[in-house]
Amino acid sequence: MGFSNFSQTEKQQKDSQFHLRIRLRYGKTKALRQLDLFSSSANSPTKNLSIMQKLLFALTTLFVPYFVMRVLIVDPQFEGSPDIEQDVLGPSYEIIVWQTLDEGPVSSSVFEKCDALINCRSRHPVTADIVAKMPNCKIVSQAGVGYNHIDLEACSKNGIPVCNVPDYGTMEVADHAVTMALALSRGIVAYDTKLRSKAMGWNAREQLTVRRIKGLTYGIVGLGRIGTATALRARAFETKIAFYDPYLNPGVDKAFGFQRCNSLEELLSISDILSLHTPLNDETEKLINTENVDLVKQGQIIVNTSRGGVVDLDAIEKGLKSGRLSGAGLDVLPTEPIDYEHPLLKAFELSEEWLDGRLIITPHAAFFSPSSVKDMRRIAAENILNFFENGGLRSCLNLENLTSFR
């Protein structure tokens, strides 16, 4: 655990007090087995405590009753019992599952009793009001990558670390992004749709957007875990990989043999396929918009498997209608579930002729496979176990702003 605003000695004292507080609060017997109270070892959590404090800790621990921890799971990505979570956490943790679509908003009494929260979907925002309803909550684990729906400031002020699961669906999202690009490049969806509706004969030449994939420039916005996985898959089809990521250290382009662009506009102008892999924040909201869509290379395909707000749907409509874009694959939308009132989505619903099979939409499904969901559930539960048992924080989103813990 790192606290950049503390000296090393202060950090050690803070870590010691933090670990001891967890053990005192929950009376974990294995902490006693692992702890030499009077050790002067640098690894001993009690190294910086006085003799009286150590004695008080020992006596208190002997009489602290065994507490059952309550973990609340809201809107999980599974049906049935939380078997994976229970296997991870063990019998000393009681799991409460709450589905807001079936049961309505989580009751205040349930929030009040939870020691930890596993939040599973963005439709259940963890606002400052929700944080205030959880006086006993020590940690929030977001079962997924996105966290725009969590008030990190409110959690930090209340000493609640927030951890996510950024790596559970890396392979699935990369597979999905490349599959969308390939389907659009080869006219798969267009052929299928036209043949199903008898809108074309047995003539491959009727789909004018089909092209050879080898030699195309495959542009990546955001070369993180998923962006890199996507690039490596795309390169297997003998495409040229270019990317734009202003936060990536120099030299990554040389290590992979990719072309690095110095601006988004440069990448837009050279990419035959553009794949978006960025978080949603003030900098990336409407990253693709009605102004810069005019700058894209003629006939470009845009694929978005990141966050819906990164792309302005008006820009996609404009680009497809003008022919500047030859296709678009959208797994995420600014408003979910899909809002068919937007002109582009209304045209998609009605299969209007001008779209010509050039728009693919999937229901925020890029992350999904039975295997990825199992990984997500397991890691979300491990975040909680690791915190309570070891004081560890994996992929903590607000660590820099935490000055104390509950």
Q: Which of 161, 177, 63 is nearest to 117 (CA)?
A: 161
Q: Is residue 366 in some structural domain?
A: no
Domain end marker among 63, 85, 108: 63
Domain end marker among 47, 63, 79: 63
Q: Do 299 and 347 reside in the same domain of the chain?
A: yes
% the chain with pLDDT above 70: 83
Does the pLDDT value for residue 395 go beyond 50? yes
> Which residue has 């050690």 as its token pair?
12
In the chain, the amino acid numbered 152 is L
Q: Which of 165, 239, 187, 214 is nearest to 357 (CA)?
A: 187
Q: Do 102 and 141 reside in the same domain of the chain?
A: yes
Q: Do 349 and 386 reside in the same domain of the chain?
A: no
- Residue 59 has a pLDDT of 57
Parent domain of 294 = 170-361
Q: Is residue 3 in some structural domain?
A: no
Q: Do 114 and 50 reside in the same domain of the chain?
A: no
Condensed to tens digits (0 to 9), the pLDDT of residues 144-195 reads 998 999 999 999 999 999 999 999 999 999 999 999 999 999 999 999 999 9
Q: Is residue 2 in some structural domain?
A: no
Condensed to tens digits (0 to 9), the pLDDT of residues 234-290 reads 999 999 999 999 999 999 999 999 999 999 999 999 999 999 999 999 999 999 999
Helix segments in 5-164, DSSP class H: 8-26, 29-34, 51-63, 83-89, 100-103, 108-113, 128-132, 152-157
Helix segments in 140-250, DSSP class H: 152-157, 170-185, 188-196, 225-235
* Cβ atoms 30, 56 nearer than 8 A: no
How many CA atoms, within 13 angstroms, populate the side-chain half-sphere of residue 282? Answer: 0
Known catalytic residues? Answer: 307, 336, 364
* Cβ atoms 406, 159 nearer than 8 A: yes
Does the pLDDT value for residue 212 go beyond 50? yes
Q: Which of 65, 161, 167 is nearest to 388 (CA)?
A: 161
Question: How many domains, in total, are found in the chain?
Answer: 3
Q: Do 342 and 320 reside in the same domain of the chain?
A: yes
Q: Do 130 and 227 reside in the same domain of the chain?
A: no
Which positions ≥6 away from 38 have C-beta within 8 Å? 46, 51, 54
In the chain, the amino acid numbered 227 is G
User: When comparing pLDDT for 21 and 225, which is higher?
Assistant: 225
CA-to-CA distance for 186 and 183, rounded, in angstroms? 5
Q: Do 164 and 177 reside in the same domain of the chain?
A: no
Does the pLDDT value for residue 320 go beyond 60? yes
Q: Do 188 and 125 reside in the same domain of the chain?
A: no
Residue 54: pLDDT band (50, 70, 90) is low
Q: Do 179 and 249 reside in the same domain of the chain?
A: yes
Q: Using alpha carbons only, what angle is made at residue 172 by residues 118 and 318, rounded to the nearest 5 degrees?
A: 100
Q: Is residue 406 in some structural domain?
A: no
Residue 125: which CATH number? 3.40.50.720
In the chain, the amino acid numbered 223 is L
Q: Is residue 119 in some structural domain?
A: yes
CA-to-CA distance for 395 and 12, rounded, in angstroms? 21
ω into residue 337 within 30 of 0, thus cis?
Answer: yes
Q: What is the pTM of this model?
A: 0.81
Q: Do 56 and 75 reside in the same domain of the chain?
A: no
Alpha-carbon distances of 361 from 151, 158, 165, 319, 349, rounded to whole Å: 29, 40, 25, 16, 10
Q: Do 212 and 352 reside in the same domain of the chain?
A: yes
Q: Is residue 35 in some structural domain?
A: yes
> Which residue has 């997500």 as its token pair?
376
Q: Do 357 and 216 reside in the same domain of the chain?
A: yes
Q: Is residue 50 in some structural domain?
A: yes
276: left (phi over 0), alpha (psi -120 to 50) or beta: beta
